[in-house]
Structure 1
Amino acid sequence: MSSQGVSRWGITLPLTGVPLATHRELVRELPDLGYTDVWTAETAGTDAFTPLALVAEWAPTLRLGTAIVPVFTRGPGLLAMSAATIAELAPGRFALGIGTSSPAIVEGWNGGEFTEPFKRTRDTLRFLRAALAGEKVSETYDTFTVSKFRLERPPAAPPEIMLAALRPGMLRLAAREADGAITNWLAAADVPKVRAEIGPDAELVARIFVCPTEDAEAARGLGRLLISSYLTVPVYAAFHDWLGRGDLLRPMHEAWAAGDRRGANAAIPDTVVDDLIVHGSPEACRERIQSYVDAGLTTPAIAVLPTGADPADLVRALAPKR
C-alpha cells in the first residue's frame, strides 16, 4: 500500500448472483472493513437508484454513487426526481454519475434514439444543475426542451454530478462543468493519460474489474469474455485506440466483425487481459488496486468478478489494509 494510505475505497453493488435483500449484513460491515463508497451500475440488472436507497438505510455513513445512469433512458425530470430522492436519503453523501451508455442499451433494449450523445450529456448535466438546486426550469436545450419543471422536494444538499468519460472531449467537459469524471476498462498505467485531461483536482472514479483467484487461466478466460463483449463496442474501441491498444486489439476486432466470437476471445493477448483485469491473491489484488490510486485515481469502484467463492467473502478479503 502507499505510504499515504487509503483515502477512498469503493465497491460495486449488488454483487453478481446475490439477491439484493441479502446484502444487508455485508453492507453494514463495509465501513468497519475500510470501504468508503458504494457504487451501482445500470445495464440489465437492478436499476442504479434502488440499491442505493437500501444502502443509505443499512450503512448511513457510506458515500453513494451511480456509475452510471444513462441520459437517454429517462426523461430529464424523472432523472432529477430519482437523484433528489437519493440525495434526500443521503444528504451530502451522494454523487450522481450520468453518461451516454451505448446504442445496444438505449436503442436495442429501451427503444430510444442514440443521437448526439455528447450534446445530450452536456444538456442533461446543465438541466440537472438547475433542477437539483430547486430552480424552476424552462429551457430549450440542443437535444430536448423542458417547460416549467420544478422539483417538489429539492434536496437540501444537491448531489455532486459526475460524467462518464472515456476520451478527451467528454473528459474536458467533466473538468469544466461537472464535479468529476467516471471511467471504465483501463489499466493503472492508463490513469495518468486520463488524469491529464481533467487536471489534478477533479475527482476521477474508475470501475476496476477484480477476480480474486490465483487460477490465472480461469481469470483470463473470464476476462477475455468480458473484454470481447465490451471493447468491441465502438466507444470502448475508440477509447483503447486513444490509449494505444489499437494494434494489440485489432485481431480481436477483425474476428468479432467476421462473426467468430471464439476467435475474437483467443486473439486477445494475455498482456491486455492482465492489464485490464485485476487477478491474483486478495493481497496481490489490493496492491494492484492501490497502484491505480498511486497513478492518480481518486476513487476505485471495485467490481468483484465471480470465482466460485462466496462473493461477500471476496469483498471482505479485498478490504483495504489499515
Structure 2
Amino acid sequence: MRLSVALGQWRDRPPGEAVRTAQLADQHGYPEVWVGERSTYDAFALATAIGTRTAQIAITVGPLAVGVRDPAMIAMGAASVAELTGRRVNVAIGASKPMVVEEWHGRSHAGAVAALRASAEALRPMLAGREDTGFPLRLPAPHSELTVAAFGPEALRVAAGADRMVINLLTPELAARLITDLRLLTSTTRVAAWVTAAVDPDEAALARLRRALVPFLATPRYAAMFAEAGFADVVAYAGTGPSAETLAGAIPDALLESVALLGDSVEIMDRLDAYAEAGVDEVALVPISTENDPCGEATLKALAG
C-alpha cells in the first residue's frame, strides 16, 4: 500500500508546523503531501512554500470546496504552484461541509453535488491546457491528476470519473462498501483514505483526536457509521446537545481506534492491512502533533518505508 502524508493543521498548534511536517515527509521518503485548506494559510500559498522548502515530494492541493473556488481559480492556482516550484502538483476537490461553505465563506451549499460534478468536468480540460475552455491560462498546464472527495452515492458517481477518490475518517468496513460501489462504476479510479495516525500516542494526542471527532458525531452519515461500529450510545449522547468538551470526554478509545491508526508500529501495520483489504490503494497519514511529538515527527519516522 502506498503511504502519503496529509497536513493536519491542528488548530491549537503553531501554523508553521504545516511546512515542517511536509519537510519531514519529504526527508523520510513519502512520495506526496496533501495540502488541504483550513482557516489559516491559503492552500496554494502554503503549497508554494512547501514546494520551495522541500527537495522532491509531490503536492496535492485540496480537497478544495467547489462552492468557494471555481475551476478557473483552481487551475490557475495549480499551474502557479507548479511553475513557481518546479514540483508535480495535483488537485483535489470536494463539496465540503455546509459550515465551511456557508458560515466561513458566506456562500450557498445548496446543489453541492451538482457543483462538484460541474467543477470536475470543467477542470479536466483546464488542467490539461486545452485552449477551448474559455480560460486563457498563460502558464504551462500543470497536467494535474484530479481527485474527488466522496462519501454519499452522488459524489461517488462524480469520483468515478476522476483519477482518484479520497475518503476521510472512515472505518475500513464502510470504506470497503464505498469501494465496492465505486467498482461497479469503474475499475480505474484509485482510492486514497485520509487516516489520522499516532505511533505510541500519549493522552494529549488522544485528547486532540477526541476534540477533532466531536463535529462528526453530529453529521448524519458519520453518526450512522459510528452507530453501526458499536457506538450508538455515544451518537445518542451527542444528539442531546452536550458541550463540545463534555462530548469529547465521552468518546471512548475504541471509537478513536475505529477510524485512526493508533498504537505501536506493529498494531498500526495491522490496521493498514485492514484498509488494504477494504480496497484502499493509498493511505494519507494525518500525523497528530503534540508537545511530545511536534509535527508528528515520531509517527512519520516510524511508518516511513
Q: CA deviation at 1:159?
A: 0.4
Structure-2 residue corresponding to 1:296: 279
Contact kept, 8 Å, 1:304 with 1:315, in 2: the verdict is: yes
Instruction: Show the counterpart of 1:99.
Output: 94
How many angstroms does 1:251 deviate by?
3.9
Residue 306 (structure 1) aligns with: 289
Residue 279, structure 1, aligned to residue 291, structure 2: no
The Cα offsets for residues 61-94 of structure 1, whole Å up to 9 and x where unpaired, read as 3221134111111233222211222343567832
Q: Map of 1:240-255 to 2, 5 A cutoff?
A: 241=224, 243=225, 245-246=227-228, 248-255=230-237
Aligned partner letter, 1:203: R
Residue correspondence of structure 1 range 1-322 to structure 2 within 5 A: 6=1, 8-13=2-7, 16=10, 17-20=13-16, 23=19, 27-28=22-23, 30-89=25-84, 93-136=88-131, 148-155=134-141, 157-175=142-160, 177-199=161-183, 200-215=187-202, 219-233=205-219, 237-239=220-222, 241=224, 243=225, 245-246=227-228, 248-261=230-243, 264-265=247-248, 268-312=251-295, 313-321=297-305
CA contact (8 A) 1:63 1:93 kept: yes
Q: Is the 8 A contact 1:219 1:279 kept in 2?
A: no
Moved more, 265-274 or 160-169: 265-274
CA distance in 2, matches of 1:214, 1:81: 40
Indicate the larger mover: 161-170 or 248-257. Answer: 248-257
Please report the TM-score for the alignment, with normalisation by the length of structure 1. 0.79
Answer yes or no: is the 8 Å Cα contact 1:43–1:105 preserved in 2: no
Assess, with a 3 A threshold, how the Cα gap between structure 1 residues 124 and 258 changes in structure 2: closer, same or farther.
Answer: same
Distance 1:54 1:320 in 2: 23
Q: CA deviation at 1:31?
A: 4.2
In 2: Cα distance, 1:90 partner to 1:204 partner: 27
Distance 1:74 1:134 in 2: 19
Aligned residues: 298
Residues 199, 264 of structure 2: 8 Å contact kept: yes
Q: In the alignment, residue 94 of structure 2 is paired with which amino acid?
A: G
Distance 1:99 1:79 in 2: 12
Structure 2 equivalent of residue 144 of structure 1: none
Give the 3-state SS of the residue equivalent to 2:275 in structure 1. Answer: helix
C-alpha distance in 2, partners of 1:190/1:247? 9
- TM-score, scaled relative to structure 2: 0.83
Q: 1:39 to 1:318 in 2, by over 3 A?
A: farther
List per-residue Cα deviations over 1:144-202 (Å, max 9, x = no partner).
xxxx43212241x4101110101232123211x21110110112333322221222532
Sort the Cα spacing of 1:13 and 1:22 in 2 relative to 1 into closer, same or farther, 3 A: closer
The offset of 1:257, in angstroms, is 3.8
Does the CA-based 8 Å contact 1:98-1:162 persist in structure 2? yes
Distance 1:315 1:250, change over 3 A: closer
Counterpart residue type for residue 173 of structure 1: V
Cα distance between partner residues in 2 of 1:202 and 1:33: 27
Q: What is the distance in 2 between the residues matched to 1:20 and 1:214?
A: 22
Instruction: Report the residue type matching 1:20 in the other structure.
Output: G
Distance 1:101 1:137, change over 3 A: farther
Question: Closer, same or farther in 2 for the Cα pair 1:219/1:92, shift >3 Å?
Answer: closer
Letter of the structure 2 residue corresponding to residue 207 of structure 1 = W
Letter paired with 1:284? E
Q: Percent of aligned pairs with the same residue?
A: 24
- Counterpart residue identity of residue 272, structure 2: I
Structure 1 SS opposite 2:292: coil
In 2 relative to 1, CA 115–91 (structure 1 residues): closer, same or farther, beyond 3 Å? farther
- Alpha carbon RMSD of aligned pairs, Å? 3.0
Structure 1, unaligned stretches of length 5 or more?
1-5, 139-147
Secondary structure at the aligned position of 1:68 is classed as strand
Greater shift, 107-116 or 59-68, is seen at 59-68
- Structure 2's unaligned 5+ residue stretches are none
